[in-house]
Chain A
Amino acid sequence: MARIDSTPTPLTPGLYDNLGLYATGEESLRLTAFSGLAVTLALEGRFTKLDGTVVPFAERLVPATDRTPSSLVMPLTEGWVSNVSVRASTGTPRRGQTFVLVELVRGQSGTVQPLTCLLQGYVQDTTRRAWPGSPIEQFSDGRGVIRSITGTDPAANTEISETVPTNARWRLIGLAVPFVADANVANRVIVVTFDDGTNVYLRAPAAGNVTAGQTVQVSLGAFGHTANSFTQVWPSVSVPDLVLMGGHRIRTVTSGIQVGDNYGGPQYLVEEWIED
């Protein structure tokens, strides 16, 4: 009868460590990123081979800057994924601007089968998301980035219309826009409307009317009331704490608008998250 060699494989330091997630050699790590800002992402970690050799890895991904998904696939040999982390190695994203997830997947192209999610959430240049360790985070968890946005300055006799970008979620904090009425005699009534791209779900009127020759500064916020200065040049628009999804629109509807009336470019403050 043949003897079975039962000599065990010597335990190397790499095998003493937390071995992590076993990979069969047919799997890959996939980094998917959504970013609203120009960044370079570093996918870094350690992989332990069957012989206990610990191999560091560091891959780079430059995602699209329009919040559409970009991916990097890193094939794995047989062994163990010991630890993984993602950070922004270039760029200075704030929380809410760059969202990543790292998965173990089977297949490298075509029909790729995700097997498990290792890490998911927002990353910055100064903070990381790591496995093991970081909690799995959703797009709208926590606070977003505060952005001050300069909208489109429309042509004369044209309303304001701002659209929430694709794959973004906005909480509108405030909006300021000047309006200049021409010499035509008419009462202009400014209403700010919010719609889902088609259907209006909120109309918020500005306080007071705008008359011929006036220049007013319209201000929108969760004031709790509308107000107007005694000279009617600072009409306010009161809205609730609004959360807007991609494709929703912020528009003005100005009854009595005249051919020479002109809105300036709106400036608005939003809290923004990625939302795919």
Chain B
Amino acid sequence: MWLKCETCGGVYQPVQAGGGLYFHTCPPLERVIVEQPDGSRAIVAPDPDDKRPIVGTTTIPRPGVRDERPIGVDPATGQVLIASPGRGVRVVPAPIVEEG
């Protein structure tokens, strides 16, 4: 079974070949640090049309992040609680694996 994360669009297998579990976590958002005309710095999304000099890169947390790592068990239901459900997942067909 393959799932698609509705937060980041990533596609993954929650149960791997061999039976081990895979815990998807959305990647952070990439940002660049630009130098503004007044000498101050700003963190912005990368934009090829932005002519301000890039002086560094950083990341910021993705809004609505999905993080499937377990953090405990619901005492009422016995269900495993994950760090952040995000916008959920849906089942999708397996992606085509390119060999080379």
Q: Any chain B CB within 8 A of the CB of A44? A: no
**Contact residue among B10, B27, B71, B73 (Cβ-Cβ distance under 8 Å from A251):** B27
Among residues 153 to 210 in chain A, which have CB atoms less than 8 Å away from a CB atom of chain B? 153-155, 158-161, 163, 165-166, 178, 184, 186
The minimal Cβ–Cβ distance linking B53 to chain A, given in whole angstroms, is 13
- Whether A38 touches B80, Cβ cut-off 8 Å, given contacts A155-B10, A163-B69, A165-B69, is no
Task: Kindly state the separation between the CA atoms of A50 and B30 in the bound complex, as whole angstroms.
Answer: 68
Task: Kindly state the separation between the CA atoms of A150 and B97 in the bound complex, as whole angstroms.
Answer: 11
**Contact residue among A152, A155, A186, A264 (Cβ-Cβ distance under 8 Å from B98):** A264
CB of A163 within 8 A of CB of B25, answer yes
Q: Any chain A CB within 8 A of the CB of B24? A: yes
**Contact residue among A36, A160, A257 (Cβ-Cβ distance under 8 Å from B46):** A257
Q: Any chain A CB within 8 A of the CB of B11? A: yes
CB of A158 within 8 A of CB of B98, answer no
Q: Any chain B CB within 8 A of the CB of A72? A: no
CB of A36 within 8 A of CB of B20, answer yes
CB of A66 within 8 A of CB of B10, answer no
CB of A161 within 8 A of CB of B25, answer yes
CB of A153 within 8 A of CB of B23, answer no
- Whether A265 touches B11, Cβ cut-off 8 Å, given contacts A36-B21, A38-B19, A178-B98, is yes
- Whether A154 touches B25, Cβ cut-off 8 Å, given contacts A64-B80, A148-B17, is no
**Contact residue among B17, B21, B28 (Cβ-Cβ distance under 8 Å from A66):** B21
Q: Any chain B CB within 8 A of the CB of A76? A: no
The minimal Cβ–Cβ distance linking A1 to chain B, given in whole angstroms, is 63
**Contact residue among B16, B18, B27, B69 (Cβ-Cβ distance under 8 Å from A154):** B27
Task: Kindly state the separation between the CA atoms of A253 and B54 in the bound complex, as whole angstroms.
Answer: 14
| Chain B contact residues: helix, strand, loop or mixed | loop
- Whether A160 touches B27, Cβ cut-off 8 Å, given contacts A150-B22, A186-B48, is yes
Q: Quick one: which of B5, B27, B46, B71 has the most chain A CB within 10 A?
A: B27
Q: Any chain B CB within 8 A of the CB of A77? A: no
**Contact residue among A36, A68, A158, A247 (Cβ-Cβ distance under 8 Å from B9):** A158
Q: Any chain A CB within 8 A of the CB of B100? A: yes
CB of A163 within 8 A of CB of B22, answer no
- Whether A253 touches B57, Cβ cut-off 8 Å, given contacts A37-B20, A152-B24, A158-B9, is yes
Q: A37 to chain B: which residues have CB within 8 Å?
A: 19-20
CB of B13 within 8 A of CB of A150, answer yes
The minimal Cβ–Cβ distance linking A99 to chain B, given in whole angstroms, is 14
Q: A165 to chain B: which residues have CB within 8 Å?
A: 21, 23, 69
**Contact residue among A91, A178, A255 (Cβ-Cβ distance under 8 Å from B57):** A255
The minimal Cβ–Cβ distance linking A217 to chain B, given in whole angstroms, is 7
Q: Any chain A CB within 8 A of the CB of B26? A: yes
CB of A158 within 8 A of CB of B16, answer no
CB of B11 within 8 A of CB of A147, answer no
8 interchain pairs, CB-CB under 8 A: A66-B80, A150-B22, A152-B11, A158-B10, A159-B30, A160-B27, A165-B21, A166-B71
Inter-chain pairs besides A153-B95, A166-B70, 7 sampled, C-beta below 8 Å = A65-B21, A66-B21, A148-B17, A150-B12, A154-B8, A160-B27, A265-B11
